[in-house]
Structure 1
């Protein structure tokens, strides 16, 4: 399907919700038919001090640094936060993956701070997507997710990062979503995951999963609003001039012609 800016723009314009976290697309649905999400962890912002990101060659830059930017601002104005960039080895990683037919070098390198072998006390673990989730061998990353999932307070996936998490088995029985263009492949990796579409992002207890790339920014603001308050979240998104979408505001579900999934979550707050 050729990308049509005018067609997509019309869909987005028709679905855009003015005012962050306003009424979503499914506000009028019969909640007797929806799936209640697990209760989110009963914590406060002060309980989240250490943030970890799973890194690998072929990660998407916005999945990582778009998602982290609201937390970067939070660390400047709210409380001390520590960031860990965690990979299989301490070698630098790049966004370049297997899908580079022109041999382009249009990417930076990123410094890894820790390895999967380190014993870290992580409160929030973020799993990005990108072409690297399709690498022939992702077993080291999968094993790390299996090790850390029971330990972390909140487990967050961005874009096709939910596919990597699904392959590891940690999302089994949980509601999650993923990039709509990659929907068939990612959901195929997790037959026991309760996949949700339409959804900009899904919150199911400690599992917070976003759809494609920039939706991770919206998920970050939902997290900040939940644990640090609406006023703090609004202050940061206003500085960044970003208008977050509601969790069920998902024009890309329609654009890529997906059918509604059987699982449709009830409003999570």
Structure 2
């Protein structure tokens, strides 16, 4: 059983979180989902979904899955030293790190993506690249895996990446069946990315 530490902040993108949550949360024997924010309390998504969270300082486990979504809230949070320091600390105790959309834009400020391959939302790709020039940003990718770090392109790409993560951990057949169960057409090829052409960086 792995704890999934879901880091939330105001103006997170709802589907960034709840697409992957739909998948991870259905494997109750493998994953326990927990919602956290820097100060705890109710957090609102960009679509006004309210989630009750615990304080990040209350985390005392190790070998968890650290999950960082994106959303408009990341635009200011990339300059939030307190949050960045906390993410850096949490990442060191994580078994896996997963970011969706501009979650990688936020996480790259820890410096832990330097020298690694990663991707992000293509609409915000130029901005993301400017934040961390030492990251090997992959322009055309639905998601990227480098070691224990998974990063995805924008919003719905988090669903494809999470199914890829399940495939890596539990096997392809299990991931494929899950995509059928939720009636989702899984983009199994991590390099599939038509949006990289729509939003040229």
TM-score class normalised by the smaller sequence? over 0.9
Structure 1 vs Structure 2 CA RMSD: 1.5
Q: Distance in 2 between matches of 1:177 and 1:116?
A: 28
Q: Distance in 1 between matches of 2:196 and 2:12?
A: 23
Q: Distance in 2 between matches of 1:117 and 1:194?
A: 33
Report whether the alignment pairs 1:159 with 2:101: yes
Work out which of the two has the higher radius of gyration on C-alpha atoms and give 1 or 2. 1
What's the CA shift for 1:86?
1.4
What residue ranges of structure 2 are gaps of 5+ in the alignment?
none
What's the CA shift for 1:248?
0.3
What residue ranges of structure 1 are gaps of 5+ in the alignment?
1-47, 97-105, 259-269
Structure 2 residue corresponding to 1:110, chosen from 27, 44, 51:
51
What's the CA shift for 1:252?
0.3
User: 1:12 maps to which residue?
Assistant: none
- Compare the two structures and name the one with the higher strand fraction: 2
Structure 1 residue corresponding to 2:14, chosen from 47, 61, 80:
61
Structure 2 counterpart SS, 1:235: helix
Q: Distance in 1 between matches of 2:154 and 2:111?
A: 21
Aligned residues between the structures: 199
Q: Distance in 2 between matches of 1:122 and 1:84?
A: 14
1:101-123 Cα distance to aligned partner (Å, 9 max, x none)? xxxxx512111034235323352
Equivalent pair of 1:51/1:122 in contact (CA under 8 Å): no
Structure 2 counterpart SS, 1:208: strand
What's the CA shift for 1:138?
2.2
Q: Distance in 1 between matches of 2:42 and 2:178?
A: 30
